Amino acid sequence: MLIKAFLEEIVKRNASDLHIKVGTCPTIRVDGELEALDAPPPSLDEVEGACEQILTPRQKKEFEATSEVDFAFGVPGLARFRANFFRQRGSTAMVFRLIPFDPPRIEELNLPSVIGELALKPRGLILVTGTVGSGKSTSLAAMVRAINDSQHRNIITIEDPIEFLHRDNKSLINQREVGNDTKSFSEALRHVLRQDPDVILIGEIRDQLTMSIALTAANTGHLVLSTLHTTDAPQAVNRVISFFPPHQHEEIRFLLASSLQAIISLRLVPRSDGEGRVPATEVMIATETVKEYLIDSTKTPLLKGIIEESVTEYGMQTFDQSLLGWYNQGVITLEDAIHHASSPTALQIKAKGIQSGSDIAWTPMGAE
């Protein structure tokens, strides 16, 4: 089985993922949809042979012990790939995700320009949220590139695994991979403040200790970038607080309000011309009003309304405002806009041009 040929097909077709399992044709994901390749299903021996060729001794040991392993690797002249090998029904299955060699620019990802401004903030916490495959890691890489291209800063990343490779430009960048360069996120973060960072990127916040250190670092003069698996900004706020026991919730709300810069949430939507996908982007910036709503648990559920009303003044927007902007530009279909909307009925009404006086905030918004 020629894995390299399948990886070349990912790059050629601009696919995001490659799936390989015993007895099933290799399958790629293009613009969110799965497509089987014109290739015979691999046998058990072929898949196990590919494992032997690809995995390092340390990775083989981990795979044998846990039945799953995450890692990233590069194919010279082609691209980098993030891979996950796992066991299913007693055999090995593989998933490869394409990672371009060069980190993208924010404008290349069709993200709102305010995200570029947020990336250059001197301090605070910026969370990028979304489901798996929504573009969180790619967006973080674009923000790091924006810093690297314009500011002299010491950037330390802690990732599992390292995906995009950053070359020093104006900034000094040290990338640490869990398993190779450090034992764990929490272990790396215990020492990171002694490494003179200006910017700390945490690939994913998974536990209370990591969140606690991230909040502390953001509150003591560092810019902290990280991701959470939540669908929107209000849910991200609740997720941050849920890491901690109830008796600490009030304290954490104050700490979050004092350290948060922004929460950026992503959903990828197919383009109407069939040429890829665009990000529907929700942006919540920590204004004084937002901070007040973070501190007061009875007001936190009302954050959506503050985001919706702050388009013109602060550059915030909800998912539905972002979707309506893409639809009005003809980039996505109304069907897809409604499918990905937080409030499908309200979006459909506004798409028909029916507005009340309270809907004026929707008028100036649009994708950048």
Domain boundaries, position 70 = 3-99
Q: Tell whether 295 is covered by a domain.
A: yes
- What is the structure's pLDDT at 364? 43
Per-residue pLDDT of the chain (368 residues; tens, 9 = 90+): 689 999 999 999 999 999 999 999 999 999 889 999 999 999 999 999 999 989 999 999 999 999 999 999 999 889 999 999 999 999 999 999 999 888 999 999 999 999 999 999 999 999 999 998 899 999 999 999 999 999 999 999 999 999 999 999 999 999 999 988 999 988 999 899 999 999 999 999 999 999 999 999 999 999 999 999 999 999 999 999 999 999 999 999 999 999 999 999 999 999 999 889 999 999 999 999 999 999 999 999 999 999 999 998 899 999 999 999 999 999 999 999 999 999 999 999 988 875 544 454 555 444 44
What's the CA gap between 144 and 69, in Å, rounded? 26
Nearest Cα residue to 116 out of 141, 74, 146: 146
Could you tell me if 56 and 37 lie in one domain? yes
CA nearest to 185, candidates 162, 163, 203, 173: 203
Examine the domain organization and report whether 209 and 133 are in the same domain: yes
Determine, yes or no, domain membership for 368. Answer: no
Question: Is 228 among the domain residues?
Answer: yes
The residues near 164 (Cβ < 8 Å, ≥ 6 apart) are 80, 99, 100, 103, 137, 138, 141, 144
Q: How far apart are CA 307 and CA 202, in angstroms?
A: 26
What is the distance between the alpha carbons of residues 49 and 24, in angstroms, rounded to a whole number? 16
Question: DSSP state, 100?
Answer: -
Domain boundary among 46, 67, 99: 99
76 burial via Cβ count (<10 Å: 0-12, 13-18, 19+): exposed
Q: By the 8 A CB rule, do 112 and 281 touch?
A: yes
In this structure, are 301 and 187 located in the same domain?
yes
Q: Would you say residue 194 lies in a domain?
A: yes
Of the residues 49, 82, 99, which one is the last residue of a structural domain? 99
In order, the DSSP letters of 112-145 are -THHHHHHT-SSEEEEEE-STTSSHHHHHHHHHH
Same domain, yes or no, for 85 and 173? no
Q: Supply the pLDDT for residue 356.
A: 47
Q: Which helix (H) or strand (E) holds 280?
A: strand 277-285
CB 26 within 8 A of CB 5: no
Distance CA 94, CA 21 (A): 6
Question: How many C-beta atoms lie closer than 10 Å to residue 8's C-beta?
Answer: 14
- The answer on 356 and 222 residing in a single domain is yes
| Residue 112 forms part of a structural domain | yes
Structure tokens at 271: 């383009």
What is the C-alpha to C-alpha distance for residues 262 and 125, in angstroms, rounded to an integer?
7
**How many domains are contained in the chain?**
2
Do 76 and 143 fall into the same domain?
no
CATH of the domain at 20: 3.30.450.90
Distance CA 347, CA 302 (A): 18
In a shared domain, residues 249 and 352: yes
Q: Could you tell me if 162 and 210 lie in one domain? A: yes
Quickly tell me which residue has 């003069």 as its tokens. Answer: 221
Q: Does 73 lie in the same domain as 137?
A: no
199 has which bridge partners?
Answer: 155, 223
Q: Residue 277: name the closest of 98, 108, 31 by CA.
A: 31
Residue 367 within a domain: no
Verify that 57 and 128 share a domain, yes or no: no
Residues 225 and 347 in one domain: yes
Alpha carbon of residue 170 to chain centroid: 24
* Residue 291 phi, psi dihedral angles, 5° rounding: -60, -40
Q: What is the pLDDT of residue 365?
A: 46
Token pair for residue 61?
């040991």
Q: For the whole model, what pTM was predicted?
A: 0.89
Q: Are residues 352 and 219 in the same domain?
A: yes
